[in-house]
Amino acid sequence: MLMDISSEMIHALLPVYMVTVLGASALAVGVIEGVAEATASIVKVFSGALSDWLGRRKFLALLGYGLAAVTKPIFPLASSIDWLIAARFIDRVGKGIRGAPRDALVADISPPELRGASFGLRQSLDSIGAFAGPLIAIGLMWAFSDHIPTVFWFAVIPAVLCVAVLLLAVKEPPRPEGMRPARSPLRRDELARLGATYWWVVGVAAVFTLARFSEAFLILRAQQLGLPLWLAPAPLVLMALAYSLSAYPAGVLADRMNKTTLLAVGLVLLAAADLALAVAPGLGVAAAGVVLWGLHMGFTQGLFAALVAEASPPELRGTAFGVFNLVSGVALLLASVVAGALWTAIGSQWTFLAGAGFTLLTMCGLLRVGSRLSPGSFR
């Protein structure tokens, strides 16, 4: 939650800062955001495998959060787009290092019958941070007369607190006795142990991610429709609020009902969000689209994490989350680049209409593999 507050204070203003202050194009924003997230996903593969090899998660999580905290002062000091790209890249490396070990740690300490709720709660706390960060940024933009670098400096504080909490308060459970060690988690024979159900989950998630793109385009769309500069973080506030309020209830439902149904609900919400943002005549309809976008995140992101945890052996969970995040990150890179290219070439509306089209294709694929994601597949 604390790192999300810090990161979202920066992320909520970064697209506008790059476009209006440093002169970057929408295509450049899409490429930068896509490469940043893909970088995090690639690193997650190796950090997840390393956590399985070591049998320890906390050290890598601490390293990742610490690296992200160290990069935060670069943002207010950056004088060119190159510096921002470097800072964003290093920050996402930190995210990549911590992501899979942290998720594996959540799975390790969660009772199997409450795993959906556990990941839903984690997503809710993340989203509270994602809600609070942009909201704080709005207040600081108002207080400091739209001076974005000052807001970036304030973002350093929760990042430092995050590392302190992880270092001092989080305890890692001991490795269960008799657990088979994963000495070479990325070897072909070890990856084969993940099983067909796991790879179906990865495949569905990849196609799903192609249907969405970086939230930076929500900010740019709202600004295009007349949102004042000091309110630039508002779309992320709305999105994160909807996300945080829906993630935990969706996680609880995932423990009690068919998971395919919940994913289908998430797809319908995403398609509705894209259509609303594409045709929005003003900020009111755009705000509704942003809320729908947040609800779709709440219904899907924790659920995918729970599916990965259930479909993978405990000793390979770090690797499983790493591979899952790699595939999803590459898909997000492609989606963000395509979104930026469409925005630049033929207009912002087509970015969101294309997203709705990919969502419908994903729904067709989900219906084909629905039986693989049924509760019985994980028993």
What residue segments make up the domains of the chain, in order of their start? Answer: 2-170+184-378
Written as one string, the DSSP assignment of 315-347 is GGHHHHHHHHHHHHHHHHHHHHHHHHHHHHHH-
Least confident piece of the model among 11-15, 18-22, 157-161, 356-360: 18-22
Q: Which CATH class is domain 2-170+184-378?
A: mainly alpha
Asked if the model's pLDDT at residue 118 lies above 60, the reply is yes
Can you point out the beta strands (E) in the chain? none
What are 186-208's pLDDT values in tens digits? 566 666 667 777 888 888 888 87
SS3 state at 208: helix
- Stretch 246-261: mean pLDDT: 78
Asked if the model's pLDDT at residue 160 lies above 90, the reply is yes
Task: Tell me the two tokens of residue 213.
Answer: 């793109």
Which distant-in-sequence residues (6+ apart) come within 8 Å of 350 by Cβ?
A: 278, 342, 343
- For residue 155, the model assigns a pLDDT of 92
User: Model confidence at 378, in pLDDT bands (50, 70, 90)?
Assistant: very low
User: Model confidence at 365, in pLDDT bands (50, 70, 90)?
Assistant: low
What are 326-345's pLDDT values in tens digits? 788 778 778 878 888 888 88
Q: Average pLDDT, whole number, for the chain? A: 79
Q: How far apart are CA 205 and CA 212, in angstroms?
A: 11
- For residue 379, the model assigns a pLDDT of 41
CB atoms within 10 A of CB 371: 11
Which distant-in-sequence residues (6+ apart) come within 8 Å of 227 by Cβ?
A: 234, 235, 283
Asked if the model's pLDDT at residue 372 lies above 80, the reply is no
Write the DSSP symbol of residue 173. P
- Stretch 60-85: mean pLDDT: 85
What are 211-237's pLDDT values in tens digits? 777 777 888 888 888 888 778 778 878
Q: How far apart are the two ends of the chain, measured CA to CA in Å?
A: 32
Q: How far apart are CA 333 and CA 357, in angstroms?
A: 18
What are 283-340's pLDDT values in tens digits? 889 999 999 998 988 888 777 877 787 777 777 777 788 788 778 877 877 887 888 8
- For residue 273, the model assigns a pLDDT of 92
Of 120, 114, 307, nearest to 201 by C-alpha is 307
Maximum distance among all alpha carbons in the chain? 61
32-46, 108-122, 231-245, 277-291: which is most confident: 277-291
User: Model confidence at 161, in pLDDT bands (50, 70, 90)?
Assistant: very high
Computed from CA positions of residues 300, 303, 308, 309, in that sequence, does the dihedral angle turn out positive or negative?
A: positive
Asked if the model's pLDDT at residue 373 lies above 60, the reply is no
Q: How far apart are CA 181 and CA 179, in angstroms?
A: 6
Q: How far apart are CA 93 and CA 68, in angstroms?
A: 8
C-alpha to C-alpha distances, 311 to 38, 93, 172, 371, nearest whole angstrom: 23, 26, 22, 14
